[in-house]
Amino acid sequence: MAKLNEDGQWIVLMAFIISITMLVLALIVNQSTLVGTTTAEAVLEFPKSDIKDLRNEILRINEVYADSGGINPNFFNDQMRAIALDRKSALVQYSINIVNPSGMIEIHFNNGVTEYNEKYY
């Protein structure tokens, strides 16, 4: 024989290909369970309760102001902005229309990942 007969090597190569395919499939199965974890991370990351809480607080400030007058409700804007920036790493700003009591309230919230803007009448 002048050279090695390599006719049958395609069988072993097919076996290799199938083994590698099986490895890839097993990897997919293994990684699939991480999908559940990522969903929970996404839920934790979205500031749903932060935004709802902020909105609730601003409406409460507006309600108390509308009833008893006195202190300008936009006065709390500085307080809330400072606290939110320090503790929640979020930029918070609102403005209440005090000239017209049933006028518009604007709310802005931005925590770097999620941004929320609202105009409330």
Partner 1 sequence: MRNNPSSRLNYRESMANYLPGRCYIMNITKDSGQISIDFLVGFTIFIIGFIFVITMMSGLLVGLQSKTIDYDAVAYRTGVILVEDPGQVQKDTPENKWEFLDPAYKDDIIRLGLAISPDFPNILTRAKVDRFFDSDYFSYPDDYRRMLIFGGAGTYPYNFNISLDYGTSPPLSIGDSVPDGQSYGYIKRAVFIKEPPGEAVFTCPGNPERIDININFPDLYDTEREPIYNIDPLNEEIRIRILTDPNVELTDVSLLKSDADGIYISVPGLNLPPVETSGGPAPPYPITVIEDPLNPGMGYVKIIFPQRYFSPFSDKSSKFLLSFSFDTANYPPNQYNYDYSTDFQPSPTLTPAILEVCIW
Partner 2 sequence: MVTEEGQLYTIEGITAAILMVLTAYFILNSTSILTPGDTHISDMQLEQLGNDALKMMDTAKSFDATGSTIYEKKQSDLETWLSYDLITNPFIRETVIKEFIDKFHKYADDDQLKLFAKIYYSDGTNVQLLDFWNPPPPDIPPFTNRDHYVTVSRWVYLKDPEWDPGEPKTVLLEVYLWRN
| 61 in contact with partner 2 (CB under 8 A) | yes
56 vs 72, beta carbon nearer partner 1: 56
2 touches partner 2 (CB under 8 A)? no
Restricted to residues 1-20, the positions that interact with partner 1 (CB under 8 A) are 8, 11, 14-15, 18
What is the separation, in whole angstroms, between the first and last Cα of the chain?
93
Stretch 38-57 residues interacting with partner 1 (CB under 8 A): 39-40, 43, 52
Q: By CB under 8 A, is residue 68 in contact with partner 2?
A: yes
Helix 34-45 / helix 9-32 crossing angle, nearest 10 deg: 40
Residue 10 DSSP one-character state: H
β-pair type (115-120, 91-96): unpaired
Nearest CA to 115 out of 83, 92, 96, 95 is that of 92
CA gap 77, 111 in Å, rounded = 16
Question: For residues 104 and 62, is the Cβ–Cβ distance under 8 A?
Answer: no
Looking only at Cα atoms, what is the longest distance across the chain? 107
Query: Closest separation between CB of residue 107 and partner 2, Å?
Result: 13
Positions touching partner 2 (CB under 8 A) are: 5, 7-9, 11-12, 14-16, 18-19, 22-23, 26, 29-30, 33-34, 36-37, 40-41, 43-44, 49-50, 53-54, 56-57, 60-61, 63-64, 66-68, 71, 76, 78-80, 82-84, 86-88
Positions touching partner 1 (CB under 8 A) are: 8, 11, 14-15, 18, 22, 25-26, 29, 32-33, 35-36, 39-40, 43, 52
